A = this chain, B = another copy of it.
Amino acid sequence: MKLDYIDDFEAWKADFLFYTPVTVRFSETDMFGNMNNVSTFIYFEQARIEFLKAVGLFDLENNQKTALIVADLHCDYLAQAFFDEDLKIYVKAGQVGNSSVDIHYMAEKEDGLVCFTGRGRLVKINIQTGKPIKFTDDEKEKLTSK
């Protein structure tokens, strides 16, 4: 399957540096014994927050003037994951625009199999006005530091 946010899968995969470990919880499985489709977005959120903390940009979400908001989210399900599986949720910044950034996600099983991938755009906004604000050069540099 060709995904429109991935040109060359091996190159795209090799480019990830940061990950957060998660274990599939019992309450995150469904009646067919699989990790529920909804759970991937819980993991993306957790991993994205850890990534933003790691690159020093989580304050962007916490201060009173600006925020990073989620404009869209996407997940491609490549293989099933199961109860109690340990997954690495990799995160990296894709294209960085003036006031938005594409965040990419990849979930890898212990044996190296990639079971789901995804992406989603974050937009830096002024909380008062709701309008987009440009990233500073420092912020752009931080986003692509891991």
Contacts and interface: CB of A to CB of B under 8 A. Distances in A.
Contacts of A9: none
Contacts of A38: 27, 38, 41-42, 45
A76 interface: yes
B37 A73 contact: yes
A99 interface: no
Contacts of A95: none
Contacts of A76: 71-72
A10 B69 CA distance: 26
A27 B28 CA distance: 8
Contacts of A73: 37, 74-75, 77
Contact of A29 (B1, B25, B30, B77): B30
Given A73-B75, A77-B72, A26 B41 contact: no
B31 A45 contact: no
Contacts of A56: none
